[in-house]
Structure 1
Amino acid sequence: MSGITPYSFDGASVRVVQIDGEPWFVGKDVAEVLGYADTANAMKQHCRGVAKHHPIADALGRMQDTRILSEPDMLRLIVASKLPAAERFERWVFEDVLPSIRKTGSYSAPEARSRTPYSVGKTDTLTAAEAGQLRDMLTAGVKEFPASLQGQAMRQGWSKLKSHFGVPYRQIPRAELPEALSLVAGTWRASSRSPWRCLSQIRSTRRWTACT
């Protein structure tokens, strides 16, 4: 079974096709949001998965075989993008859209989030450099996984941080940065048990947890 749902990111449409319960992103939409002038060439250069197409109606209502992207290929476009909004798009996809789709089968823009357990102002949260350090560490660990599982590992990584601290990673208090870095470093511990034990956990339970 498949269905097409249009979502909006900064006013731009990003369509998601659900095929057998898995989300696939319309490649042209993702590439345009990420600032690629030549969307077809961007997918050719950066996407490594087998090219998959799905019939989608164009502006005139004609059905066209359209390139759709798996989570790993979408992540590759995000990483290669030079657009400042790329990181924000990544957070939107992995922290809001995909978890909502997995849980309910559709995405609804959050109306009001619960109050955070921290009473901090903007100056008390991670700086851009500190948030980038945390993000780079998580991204480096994800690259140790096979391409087919990188998207899921990244999503679960963000989810783990958010679950631990109760807020999106950019809102983690600066005082908690050492703990956040330690959490990520422990998760991607370079040993014979990681990431391959985590890989088996993903395959068997479709959930990712830290290896011990």
Structure 2
Amino acid sequence: MQSAQVIPFSFEAAPIRTVLINDQAWFCVTDVCRVLGYANSRDAMSKHCREKGVAKRDTLTSKGKQALTFIDEGNLYRLIIKSRKEEALRFEAWVCDEVLPSIRKHGHYEDSNNSMATLIGQTIGTDGFHMLGAVVKGKVSSLPAAIQRRATSKIWSQTHAAFGVRSAADIPADQLDSARNFIAAYVIEGEFLGRDDSSAQRFELPASAPLIQRWLVSQDGDGRQQAKPIPIDAFVMSASEFFHQINAGNGIHLAAQELIEFVISSMNQLKQRV
């Protein structure tokens, strides 16, 4: 089965995944049926769609690679016509007046406000956003329920600032692993666990510090606070946390070459100690 490069759109906050097959736009039937009010996408296809306009493609989702069903433009219109929801007319206008003309002209979707500008393969899109969301959820799961929302908001805010985007879906596709590692390595325990702030010292970063920069703040032997700039995708954790994150399904993702270098370094350390 062929793999598909998804073009993520959003119709009134509802995700609509689209792919190009033979230079033509095909739409994820699950997303379309959700907008048009069909409770069962398979039943809707069976009743209203032509078989030759249905295709499956391997697609990267928040749950990994899955085979999703896409329908062509003709079948899309058939579902729109049969829908009883008021949104159907607005959805048709959006597809016909904005999405399809833009895809045919540019090869990607550009809305009138230029707020999405989602190029094929350029950003992580909706699927990448959901993947990072799973990492964030795992990161805050050990915190008290009362502050999980605040911690989640802070992590997203720091991620947006670190990668210079307004939405995580706009993070460049080639930086997905860096974003995943950034979130997995984000230290939140000391920031969100209860403490007495009455005597806490406030550390001021240097005036010349870059606007987008990660800092490791610590105290020296005399109790003076100090800050050290660290790379955006650096791992800040104990050795035990590092091993746990490597083995966790939604933890740190290391490239094959990085894993090889880690193993070689570990073997050299063992040889020196034996």
TM-score by length of 2: 0.39
**TM-score computed with the length of structure 1 as normaliser:** 0.50
Structure showing greater radius of gyration is 2
